[in-house]
Amino acid sequence: MNYISIKVNGVLFERAISSDMRLIDFLREEIKLKGTKEGCSEGECGACTVILDGKCVNSCLIYAAALDGSEVLTIEGLKKEEIHPIQRAFIEAGAVQCGYCIPGMIMSAKALLDYNIDATEEEIRKGISGNLCRCTGYEKIVSGVMLAQKYIKEGNFNG
Amino acid sequence: MEKIKIIIEKGGGDMSIKDIYNPKSLKEAESIGNYLYKNYKTFAYIGGGTDVMIKINNNSMPVDYLINLRGIPELKKVKSIKEHIFIGSMNTFSDLQNIKDIEKFGAVCDCIDTMGSPQIRNIATIGGNLINAAPSADSIPALMVHHASLKISSLNRQRTVKCTDYYKYYEDNKLKKEEILTDIILTKFNGVSGFYKLGKRNSLAIARISCAVYFEVQSLKIQRFKIALGACGKLPYRVYEVENILNGKNIDSLYSDEVLEALQNSVMDKLKNRSTMPFKKEAVVGVYKHACERALNRLGEKS
């Protein structure tokens, strides 16, 4: 057993967990945040991407017991009074088909735009290069991220 | 001597990992490892975990205990002492991008940029990549051509091994159970370097074959030429035959028939009857040329 204190979407969780529990298991099974999806379990698809201490990571490749004192942001943590500009942009750009890759894709986009709001198209493609999508062919996802840049710069959102 | 209290709690149920320790100092980590080792417990040190976790999950690395090194400040430090840079082994690939003077090590910059994915680069550590010793490990060829050394520590001793020798004499040099790779030592030279890997895609690509080169140019003559290949055998290796041909030769000999033939012979010798040999024997030429072009571009930037 390991005892951890971890902040998820701004809420502090103090739990005793089994040592081999991965972060994705902690999120989905322990605190019932089902938005983060499991794809490959090997860090190859990016469906499980969350933001850990400000950086995008594969939650399937991290033991929760190693994260005492850390902060995690999941897809559920993006929305405040209204949906996040990235979520709005993805919808408007038609970037969502089956939707399974989208939570991870959005978290990678958020991490990228938090780091560099002026990312070029090439940098956007590189920033989401760890997220696989079998549906869209990526073009509308890239358009969605570029639209999100515009919305974030306009600044008229809460949260 | 400081006493370090070690508590081992047995977990309930059928867990693959009984406990994960999160030491806050190198001494604490070494003490825990020493205790587990002496008490015949199966354990492993873990950095980012991107390799270890997969091995544990597919039962190819049966361990009961893990010692997490990520929270140890000493293993994240970066120090410049004269012409040397000491890079703590727990620096992630993303951390490496922000190290002052890292741009002097072009091959290392190239491999940082292409390793894994953004998510993997934020977790995977340079130390983990080296100690996992995969044939296709991106950092090993790049560090080999830069004369990198590995500083290894345990409770009872410290040792420093040249990166090239660590993998050349791997069975003798590889990390003992209770040892920790603490630092990677780079030395600033005046030359240029480049790294290139061939993968099945642009990102999240395990190298099918990779190449790193380093050289200096004086009066149009190549000096101190170094070349290392990855994913061409059990472990990455230096190709001394090519180095011996090129040192002292004119810069326009980089792609001579003699050099390319020696390169291909090296691959054939390493891979022998493996099914990938015919492909890699041809591919190594292109990969080598790309690595050289990256180094030559840096030469152009310098002058």
Q: Does B76 touch chain A (CB under 8 A)?
A: no
Mutate to test the interface with A, among B119, B121, B202 (most CBs of A within 10 A): B119
**What tokens appear for B287 in the block?**
């990969």
Contacts of A62 in chain B (CB under 8 A): 49, 53, 123
Is B53–A63 a contact, with Cβ atoms under 8 angstroms apart? Answer: yes
DSSP B273: T
Q: What is the pLDDT of residues B158-184, one digit of tens each?
A: 999 999 999 999 999 999 988 999 999
What is the C-alpha separation between A55 and B119, in angstroms, rounded? 8
Q: Does A110 touch chain B (CB under 8 A)?
A: no
pLDDT of residue B7: 36
Question: How buried is residue B57: exposed, middle or buried, by Cβ count under 10 Å (0-12/13-18/19+)?
Answer: middle
Average model confidence (pLDDT) for chain A?
Answer: 95
- Which residues lie across from A22 on neighbouring strands? A63
Q: Does B250 touch chain A (CB under 8 A)?
A: no
Chain A residue with the nearest C-alpha to that of B123: A57
pLDDT-derived band at B303, boundaries 50, 70, 90: low
The closest CB to that of A58, out of B20, B57, B119, belongs to B119
Tally A–B CB contacts below 8 A.
95
Contacts of B9 in chain A (CB under 8 A): 1
Please name the helix (run of DSSP H) or strand (run of DSSP E) that holds residue A80, with its range, or none.
none
Is B123–A58 a contact, with Cβ atoms under 8 angstroms apart? Answer: yes
Quote the percentage of chain B above a pLDDT of 70. Answer: 94
Dihedral sign (CA A48, A53, A54, A55) = negative
Q: What is the pLDDT of residues B245-255, one digit of tens each?
A: 999 999 999 99
| C-alpha pair distances (Å), A140 with each of A44, A71, A135, A149, B267 | 21, 30, 11, 14, 43
Residue B130 CA, chain-centre distance (Å), reads: 4
Whose CA is closest to B229, among B100, B136, B94, B103? B136
Q: Are A109 and A148 in contact (CB under 8 A)?
A: yes
**What tokens appear for B178 in the block?**
């209770």
Q: Are B93 and B78 in contact (CB under 8 A)?
A: no
For strands B209-218 and B221-230, give the pairing.
antiparallel
Q: What is the pTM of this model?
A: 0.91
The closest CB to that of A2, out of B19, B48, B123, belongs to B19
Q: Mean pLDDT, to the nearest integer, of A49-63?
A: 97
pLDDT-derived band at A157, boundaries 50, 70, 90: low
Is A22–B53 a contact, with Cβ atoms under 8 angstroms apart? Answer: yes
Quote the percentage of chain B above a pLDDT of 90. Answer: 79
Is B117–A46 a contact, with Cβ atoms under 8 angstroms apart? Answer: yes
pLDDT of residue B202: 77
What is the C-alpha separation between B237 and B211, in angstroms, rounded? 10
- The identity of residue B231, as a single letter, is A
Q: Are A108 and A49 in contact (CB under 8 A)?
A: yes
In this predicted complex, what is the ipTM? 0.95
Q: Which of 17-46 (A) contact B at CB < 8 A?
A: 18-20, 22, 41-44, 46
pLDDT-derived band at B280, boundaries 50, 70, 90: very high
What is the C-alpha separation between B91 and B230, in angstroms, rounded? 22
Quote the percentage of chain A above a pLDDT of 90. Answer: 93
Average model confidence (pLDDT) for chain B?
Answer: 91
Q: Does B54 touch chain A (CB under 8 A)?
A: yes
Mutate to test the interface with B, among A4, A5, A18 (most CBs of B within 10 A): A18
In three-state secondary structure terms, B221 is strand
Q: Which residues of A65-86 are buried (b: 16+ CB within 10 A; e: fewer)?
A: bbbbebbbbbbebbeeeeebbb
Q: Does A53 touch chain B (CB under 8 A)?
A: no
Is B15–A19 a contact, with Cβ atoms under 8 angstroms apart? Answer: yes
Shortest Cα–Cα distance, A141 to chain B (Å): 17
Whether pLDDT at B85 is above 90: yes
Q: Which of 191-220 (B) contact A at CB < 8 A?
A: 202-204
Shortest Cα–Cα distance, B17 to chain A (Å): 5
Shortest Cα–Cα distance, A65 to chain B (Å): 7
